[in-house]
């Protein structure tokens, strides 16, 4: 693919990238703190990752290799479009392999393969403010962050237990970063929360509509909030992936027919494909599917 | 009785531009003492309450508070973090409208438990147990613990607000017309409950009210305000039985006899 | 021996601001002592200022001049100039008052009304209630009423609750405003007996009794209040 001459490299003009980089640097310096930035109009609707795209555009260079996932998959519309966008406006190489990527932009998942030093994970964030559920006033939530008044976050978890007998928050599960700021990890499943803790990779979060950027630098403490008598737990699956037999990974339920037939498969498509390439087989993989075609 | 007051107010004045809110108010409040501030709308009693409770910064004067560590602090020189911490631990504030003091969209249990969680209680079982205990003390059945205050009557909401404020064992509670919007029979129940709790817990309280019956029943001492100034102050029954100032006499004689 | 209660040159006027500031003199130069173990009765016709004197001594009414001297905690104190906090302490520990009418509090039982003065002095609640029960029984208040708030009681029943509340403590000074007014002969006799016991215990009593028979039985001395009538009408 060739560069479109009328666009600057990576779509945004250099001054805008500079502004965003400054916000990113500040975010890295204050882990978990939401830094305001002058979010630009992007050629896509809000909710499709305008924040993530701007962060990626500000940090991407010609030698980077970009991977984009949506709910763990490389092949959904959102992922394909964003990958194509950067291939066009930055002429960068793209990949679906986690191991090969230098920048991974994601919506709602962290790859199963542990991230490495030097990799950057860019999250698309719809609502950056974890306290908003109970305190709608932005002036008040900012003050609460400033004064470290986080009792309200536990009120939310208390309500969960009171209603459901357990902490029923399964995604966007609040975390405390480096013992200071409470942060919304974006709508990733809580299954992925432990992966954020002490990750060697840099994690950047962009909320385009809300004009906020925040970050978790490499090797930063990320602790999921909980109660002493209701400790944080990740989801557990009773069966392995139907395609690659992986256990200890996050699975999506796929409906097969109108008669209640369903299967659980890896949400991380790259991880699943790699495992199958290595010869792992689930009980619904390969043969049956091919036979059905 | 303790040797030292809890609160010292000296020459407190508040102006809104050229308009007077309250002027030159001075008094001391002792532990366990209930002070009623009475006066009609516009007399400056709410302005005074808001200055005392640090919701407003006065134009002149000082208010000193004896903190839990026995150190006297000028309230208007506290950092915001200290001030807010004080307000959710050692102080309570009961609003006239319970919706201003409650979180209407979370359960009664969480409303009571919030202050505990704010001071670091991280044990769900303990928080819930304490909430049930406090709901009982304000006469709310334990089986309403998971209901939102939206489904409560006005009187229940007000009782919930009181429990929410008292759960951290504050030493000083501010109340702004605590029985304001309630039916007479509901008022009586609330007043009696407050009277019991204040006595039992040895709370100091500052109650703003226009209702002299509330002042009579709850307070040891009262201040009568008019046009921003305290015109008469003293023992509650002395002010009510032997009022000196023309305005106080008018107030007392305006009570409907039943 | 100093008196338990010394009234010195007490004077009182009411200024009625709502009636164009008319000044109503009540009493002046009130001057008498009440000693421990003595019951002093205020005499004189209605309107002479008997109740006003009692209310001043209890701190209910302010005074215009003079002193009300009491011994509290081993020190002499002038209640006329005491600050509200001290007046409350005096009421808790030294001076008790049986008013003419009981001021009822919604929802508080008769038993708790009676026990309260002991409870606020730190007596164990169950012990205070036991003593309250004994007093109510002695005053023939039917036991079925004990757990009810006195608001709906008859005048005589309320009066007996009030008397029990005033007599339950061992305050050094006890003020009585017509305690037997709405009582029958049996209960009047009980109250007379209780007053005699207080005297024997060294309590200084100051009271108003319209019933001549009762007054005769309890009074050691009668102070004629008409002697304190203001000489100059304003």
pLDDT value of position B198: 87
Decide the pairing of beta strands C204-208 and A222-224.
Answer: unpaired
In this complex, does chain C touch chain A, defined as having at least 3 beta-carbon pairs under 8 Å apart? no
Picking from B81, B105, B117, the nearest residue to A158 by CB comes out as B117
ipTM of this complex prediction, to 2 decimal places? 0.91
C165 has a pLDDT exceeding 70: yes
Summary mean pLDDT of chain C:
92
Residue C187 CA to residue C154 CA, distance in Å, equals 14
Decide the pairing of beta strands A103-107 and A120-124.
Answer: parallel
pLDDT tens digits, B151-173:
999 999 999 999 999 999 999 99
Q: What is the mean pLDDT of residues A263-277?
A: 94
Q: What is the mean pLDDT of residues B176-194?
A: 85
Asked if B199 and C120 come within 8 Å (Cβ–Cβ), the reply is yes
List CB contacts of A66: < 8 A, sequence separation 6 or more: A56, A60, A83, A86, A87, A92, A93, A94, A95, A101, A102, A103, A104, A105
pLDDT tens digits, A213-242:
999 999 999 999 999 999 999 999 999 999
pLDDT value of position B53: 96
Position with higher pLDDT, B214 vs A206:
A206
**Closest residue, chain B, to C109 (C-alpha):** B192
Asked if C16 and B235 come within 8 Å (Cβ–Cβ), the reply is no
Query: How does residue B258 score in pLDDT terms, banded at 50, 70 and 90?
Result: low
pLDDT value of position A260: 87
Q: How far B213 CA sits from the closest chain C CA (Å)?
A: 11
Q: Which of A40-49, A100-109, B54-63, C95-104 has the lowest mean pLDDT?
A: C95-104
Whether B100 and chain A come into contact, CB under 8 Å, resolves to no
Decide the pairing of beta strands C204-208 and C173-177.
Answer: parallel
pLDDT tens digits, B122-155:
999 999 999 999 999 999 999 999 999 999 999 9
pLDDT value of position A10: 95
pLDDT tens digits, C7-35:
999 999 999 988 888 999 999 999 999 99
Find residue B94's DSSP bridge partners.
B175
Query: How does residue B257 score in pLDDT terms, banded at 50, 70 and 90?
Result: low
> Phi then psi for B117, rounded to 5 degrees?
-65, -35
B2 has a pLDDT exceeding 60: no
What residues 53-92 of chain B have any CB closer than 8 A to a CB of chain A? 80-81, 84, 88
Residue of B111, B115, B117, B132 for testing the chain A interface, max A β-carbons within 10 Å: B117
pTM value > 0.80: yes
Q: What is the mean pLDDT of residues B104-114?
A: 96
Query: CA dist B144 to B132, B152, B193, C35, C224, Å?
Result: 9, 9, 19, 59, 63
Give me the DSSP letters along A142-163. HHHHHTT--HHHHHHHHHHHHH
B10 has a pLDDT exceeding 50: yes
Between helix B108-118 and helix A151-164 the angle, nearest 10°, is 140
pLDDT tens digits, C183-205:
999 999 999 999 999 999 999 99
Please report, in angstroms and rounded to a whole number, the separation of the first and last CA atoms in chain C.
Answer: 39
Element (H, E) at A164: helix A151-164
A293 has a pLDDT exceeding 50: no
Coil vs helix vs strand at A66: strand
Own/partner pairs for B247-251, CB < 8 Å, 24+ apart? B248/B224, B249/C16, B249/C17, B249/C18, B250/C17, B250/C18, B251/B38, B251/B40, B251/B212, B251/B224
Give me the DSSP letters along A105-156. EEES---SSPP-TT-EEEEE-S---TTTTT---HHHHHHHHHTT--HHHHHH
Degrees, nearest 5: CA angle A164-A165-A171: 55
**Closest residue, chain B, to C116 (C-alpha):** B199
Coil vs helix vs strand at B169: coil
A·B CB contacts under 8 A = 55
pLDDT value of position C100: 85
Summary mean pLDDT of chain A:
93
Q: What is the mean pLDDT of residues B82-91?
A: 94
Decide the pairing of beta strands C204-208 and C39-43.
Answer: parallel
Position with higher pLDDT, C167 vs B195:
C167
Question: With contact defined as beta carbons under 8 Å apart, do B169 and B91 qualify?
Answer: no
C47 has a pLDDT exceeding 70: yes
Residue A121 CA to residue A107 CA, distance in Å, equals 10
B·C CB contacts under 8 A = 55
């Amino acid at each position: 693919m060739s560069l479109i001459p009328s666009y600057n490299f990576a779509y945004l003009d250099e001054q805008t990238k500079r502004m965003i980089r400054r916000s990113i640097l500040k975010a890295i310096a204050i882990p978990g703190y939401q830094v305001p930035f002058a979010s630009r109009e992007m050629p896509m609707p809000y909710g499709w990752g305008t924040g993530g795209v701007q962060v990626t555009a500000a940090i991407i260079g010609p030698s980077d290799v970009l991977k984009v996932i949506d709910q763990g998959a490389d092949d959904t519309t959102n992922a394909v479009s964003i990958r194509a966008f950067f291939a066009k406006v930055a002429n960068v190489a793209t990949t679906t392999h986690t191991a090969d990527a230098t920048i991974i932009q994601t919506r709602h998942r962290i790859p199963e393969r542990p991230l490495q030093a030097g990799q950057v994970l860019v999250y698309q964030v719809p609502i950056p403010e974890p306290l908003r559920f109970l305190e709608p006033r932005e002036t008040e939530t900012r003050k609460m962050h400033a004064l470290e008044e986080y009792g309200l976050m536990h009120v939310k978890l208390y309500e969960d237990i009171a209603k459901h007998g357990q902490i029923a928050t399964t995604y966007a599960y609040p975390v405390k970063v480096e013992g200071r700021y409470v942060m919304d990890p974006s709508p990733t499943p809580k299954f992925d929360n432990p992966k954020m803790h002490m990750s060697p990779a840099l994690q950047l979060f962009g909320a385009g509509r809300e004009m906020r950027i925040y970050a978790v630098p490499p090797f930063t403490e990320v602790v999921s909030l909980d109660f002493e008598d209701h400790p944080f737990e990740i989801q557990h699956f009773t069966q392995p992936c139907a395609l690659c037999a992986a256990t200890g990974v996050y699975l999506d339920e796929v409906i097969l027919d109108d008669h209640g037939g369903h299967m659980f498969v890896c949400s991380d498509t790259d991880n699943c494909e790699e495992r199958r390439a290595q010869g792992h087989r689930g009980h619904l993989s390969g043969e049956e599917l091919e036979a059905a075609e | 009785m303790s040797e030292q007051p809890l609160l010292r107010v000296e020459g407190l004045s508040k102006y809104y531009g050229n308009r007077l809110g309250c002027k030159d108010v001075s008094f001391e409040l002792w532990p366990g003492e209930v002070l009623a501030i009475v006066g009609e709308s516009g007399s400056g009693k709410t302005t005074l309450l808001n200055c005392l409770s640090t919701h407003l910064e006065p134009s002149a004067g000082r208010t000193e508070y004896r903190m839990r560590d026995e150190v006297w602090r000028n309230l208007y020189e506290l950092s915001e973090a200290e001030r807010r911490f004080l307000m959710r631990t050692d102080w309570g504030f009961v609003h006239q409208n319970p919706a201003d003091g409650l979180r209407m969209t979370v359960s009664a249990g969480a409303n009571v438990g919030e202050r505990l969680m704010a001071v670091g209680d991280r044990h769900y079982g303990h928080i819930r147990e304490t909430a049930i205990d406090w709901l009982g003390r304000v006469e709310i059945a334990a089986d309403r613990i998971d209901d939102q205050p939206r489904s409560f009557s006005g009187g229940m909401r007000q009782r919930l607000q009181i429990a929410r404020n008292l759960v951290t064992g504050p030493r000083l509670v501010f109340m702004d017309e605590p029985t304001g919007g309630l039916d007479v029979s509901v008022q009586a129940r609330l007043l009696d409950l407050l009277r019991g709790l204040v006595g039992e817990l040895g709370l100091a309280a500052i109650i703003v009210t226009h209702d002299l019956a509330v002042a009579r029943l709850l307070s040891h001492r009262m201040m009568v305000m008019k046009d921003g100034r305290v015109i008469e102050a003293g023992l509650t029954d002395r002010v009510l039985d032997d009022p000196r100032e023309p305005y106080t006499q008018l107030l007392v004689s305006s009570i409907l006899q039943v | 021996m100093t008196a338990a209660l010394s009234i010195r040159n007490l004077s009182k006027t009411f200024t009625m601001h709502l009636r164009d500031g008319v000044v109503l003199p009540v009493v002046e130069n009130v001057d008498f002592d009440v000693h421990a173990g003595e019951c002093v009765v205020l005499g004189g016709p209605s309107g002479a200022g008997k109740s006003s004197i009692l209310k001043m001594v209890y701190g209910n009414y302010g005074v215009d001049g003079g002193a009300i001297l009491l011994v509290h905690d081993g020190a002499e104190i002038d209640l006329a100039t005491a600050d509200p906090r001290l007046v409350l302490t005096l009421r808790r520990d030294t001076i008790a008052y049986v008013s003419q009418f009981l001021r009822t509090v919604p929802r508080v039982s008769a038993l708790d009304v009676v026990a309260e003065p002991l409870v606020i002095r730190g007596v164990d609640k169950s012990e205070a209630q036991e003593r309250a029960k004994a007093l109510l029984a002695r005053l023939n208040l039917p036991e079925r009423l004990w757990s009810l708030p006195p608001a709906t009681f008859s005048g005589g029943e309320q009066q007996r609750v009030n008397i029990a509340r005033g007599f339950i403590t061992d305050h050094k000074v006890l003020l009585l405003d017509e305690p037997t007014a709405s009582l029958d002969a049996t209960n009047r006799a009980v109250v007379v007996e209780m007053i005699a016991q207080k005297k024997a215990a060294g309590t200084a009593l100051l009271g108003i009794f319209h019933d001549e028979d009762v007054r005769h039985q309890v009074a050691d001395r009668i102070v004629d209040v008409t002697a304190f009538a203001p000489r100059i009408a304003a």
